[in-house]
Structure 1
Amino acid sequence: MKNRVNRRKLAGDDMNVLGKNRNNAGGARLSRSRGTCGARLAVVALAGAMVLAACGKPPNLINRYVLNYPPPAVAKLTPLDTAIKVATFSADQTINRPEMIYKVNPYKTGVYQYNRWRTDPAYLATDYLTRDFRDSGLFKAVYSSDNSGKARFHLEGGVVDFQENDEPPPWHAALTLNITLLDTDQENVADKVMFQRNYHAQEVMPARTPEGLAEAMSTAMGQVSKKIVHDVYQAIKQRLSAAKRSPEE
């Protein structure tokens, strides 16, 4: 009797296990089915979102601006038999961005969301100043920082201000560059730094628009560039003349 009971119990246990396995298998199929349906619904939802985006409002266009001014005219000066290298400028973090910045008051600034410079102000100032030095014809060669050419005199700089200033009126473009001229032949720091100066210009905007800002900033850059080229030329000329008069020479 005990053997019969045990056999029946074992048979019942086997049936229970078999039933559980079926239930588990069915659950697995159900889970996979639900997962497949969920994935299909996600794909359909994504496709629908893409269709709505394509049929919706087009994205806003970004207007990009550059400086536009003729290279400054220089006086009839004797070209120097030396080269100069213009390093890539740095920029204050408050203006180190391509978006056009306007200053409402001494404590508040904003940006034109859909109007930007073609590149950051530091690169704009570097590129145009390098162009103006080359166009002046006052130096044997003018190299940019990525050029392997060697030059005794190096020009370094930073953009301190490059923005629209609305206060006090009228609205105007404000530009400030910090310039350092170095003589790399000198080992003493005091002799190596020939000068360090700030160059500032303000120009009234012809219109209260981003394009008006670009036009005014171009005029300001032309004014500052002319002063920098002249001062650098005179400083290098004096340094070379002093070297010729030196007894060691």
Structure 2
Amino acid sequence: MRTILIILTILFSGCTTIKPPVTEYSIIAKDLKIGNNAAGCKNKSLKIAQAFSSSSLMSLNMDYTEQGNRVFSYSKSQWQESPNSFVASQLLKSIRDSGLFSSVHSSKSRVKSNLILETNIEEFMQFYSQDMKSSFVHVVISLTLVDAKTDSVVANKTFSSKFDAKTADANGGVEALSSALSEIVSQNIEWLNGVCK
């Protein structure tokens, strides 16, 4: 009987595996300079279309690049929500907070809007130096403002931002990506402000 108990204990202990804890990260645009004096879009509504991006930016994997073109994922870190989702949500929040339009709606809204903002996330990546001792991030986002009635382009602009990471790890990358996204979100408000004048 004792032998059977020992065998069962060994079998069950061999089946259980302890997974290392995974740290989840989120990005929130901060220190935004939102303020405008344009009145041209106050009588128009805007819908933020679902962002276009590569499939890797639709997953929770936190990717980084080594030596120019080798892409890896952090094993103990991941996004709380996909970069595709939080870029769209930060654009929505910042534009709504700016008061530039009469109303701002998400892509899931059934409300018909006067204008549609299309977003293409071209790059959202942390890059490591060859010796892996330092890293920087590069974010490139293209935005197109579309007239919903005619499907014609009102204006388009590509924004690019690069920031050095304070630490060469996932946390440093997240902080740098937050700064890069914040810069682009602020620039987008200025651009929309100019388009509406």
Give the TM-score range, shorter chain: 0.7 to 0.9
The separation in 1 between residues aligned to 2:23 and 2:159, in whole angstroms, is 29
Q: State whether structure 2 residue 126 is matched by structure 1 residue 161.
A: no
SS of the residue 1:126 aligns to:
helix
For residue 63 of structure 1, what is the aligned residue in structure 2? 23
- Partner residue of 1:92 out of 28, 39, 54: 54
For residue 141 of structure 2, what is the aligned residue in structure 1? 177
SS of the residue 1:60 aligns to:
coil
Of structures 1 and 2, the one with the larger relative CO (CA 8 A, separation 6+) is 2
- Answer yes or no: is the 8 Å Cα contact 1:84–1:142 preserved in 2: yes
- Partner residue of 2:105 out of 126, 143, 146: 143
SS of the residue 2:158 aligns to:
strand
Letter of the 1:213 partner, please give it: G
Superposed CA deviations along residues 135-187 of structure 1, whole A, max 9, x for unmatched, are 1111111100111222110001121111101248841111111211101122x
Letter of the 1:172 partner, please give it: F
State the aligned residue count.
189
Q: C-alpha displacement at 1:120, in angstroms? A: 1.6
- Partner residue of 2:74 out of 112, 121, 125: 112
For residue 208 of structure 1, what is the aligned residue in structure 2? 168
The separation in 2 between residues aligned to 1:219 and 1:72, in whole angstroms, is 10
The separation in 1 between residues aligned to 2:66 and 2:34, in whole angstroms, is 36
Query: Please, what TM-score do these two structures have when normalized by structure 1?
Result: 0.68
For residue 190 of structure 2, what is the aligned residue in structure 1? 230
- Answer yes or no: is the 8 Å Cα contact 2:60–2:80 preserved in 1: yes
- Answer yes or no: is the 8 Å Cα contact 1:71–1:132 preserved in 2: no
Letter of the 2:137 partner, please give it: A
The separation in 2 between residues aligned to 1:88 and 1:213, in whole angstroms, is 25
The separation in 1 between residues aligned to 2:157 and 2:67, in whole angstroms, is 26
SS of the residue 1:234 aligns to:
helix
* Identical residues among aligned pairs (%): 17
SS of the residue 2:102 aligns to:
strand
The separation in 2 between residues aligned to 1:116 and 1:81, in whole angstroms, is 41
- Partner residue of 1:221 out of 181, 192, 196: 181
Q: State whether structure 2 residue 39 is matched by structure 1 residue 75.
A: no
Runs of 5+ unmatched residues, structure 2: 1-6
Q: C-alpha displacement at 1:89, in angstroms? A: 0.4
Superposed CA deviations along residues 39-61 of structure 1, whole A, max 9, x for unmatched, are xxxxxx9986444334xx52111
Bigger Rg, which one: 1
Task: Report which of the two has the higher share of strand.
Answer: 2
